[in-house]
Amino acid sequence: MPALTPTILYRDDDLLVVDKPAGLLSVPARGADRQDCLAARVQALHADALIVHRLDAATSGLVLFARGLEMLRRMSLAFEQRVVGKQYVAVVHGHLAHDTGEIDLALRADADNRPRQIVDALRGRRALTRYQVLERVGAGADATTRVALRPVTGRAHQLRVHLRAIGHPIVGDPLYTPPELSTPSATAASARMHLHAARIAFIHPRTRVALQFDSPAPF
């Protein structure tokens, strides 16, 4: 079992906000050796905790849990209605040309290479990501950009595929980094994928108070 300890940042009778470390599954996967996950660890402390949304195992950051089925229904609806604010921080290869922008590219599962997703304008589901450059560092092959990402939709691997599609894959991404960027030196410098769920904001379903939680990126 990896020494990956989630941190509970907020708890009340209705909700939990948990900071997930990179490398830990959000929910169990197939196989006896893939049952350890964030949901199981949180439920060991709070038996009524139900995960509302997921992060990829390689992504760290904030995850919301509902306590009980009624809170799960309410918060799931809030996600569906896109009234939950989410912001991620990533470090990507290269320098983005524009300080702000949108990536509006439809996505679908790659049936021949699961769990990969691909851009498909004809058969994909619409996916929209807004971004803002925070910092550009380095030059040439060592150039990177730190960027804030706001997913408007919530497709699987959306941020990872969108950034790869515009020529700026996330540093350390094990699925979408092209071979020419997967050099030994680059791999050594990026022991993890540089993607972190840094902020979540929503209206508490019971108290109607506006809440916002932040987690600094650990890279």
Which two tokens mark 60? 């760290």
The catalytic site residues sit at 56
Q: At the topology level of CATH, where does 7-83 sit? A: Pseudouridine synthase (3.30.2350)
pLDDT of residue 2 exceeding 50:
no
Q: Do domains 7-83 and 87-189 have the same CATH topology?
A: yes
* pLDDT category of residue 1 using cuts at 50, 70 and 90: very low
CA distance 91 to 138: 12
Q: Where are the domains of the chain?
A: 7-83, 87-189
Global pTM value: 0.93
* Peptide bond before residue 115 is cis, with ω within 30 degrees of 0: yes
Task: Compute the Cα dihedral for 167, 170, 176, 181 and give only its sign.
Answer: positive
Which two tokens mark 10? 């907020």
pLDDT of residue 145 exceeding 90:
yes
pLDDT of residue 77 exceeding 90:
yes
pLDDT (average), residues 16-38: 92
1 vs 55: which has the higher pLDDT: 55
CATH class of 87-189: alpha beta
Provide the pLDDT for residue 29. 86
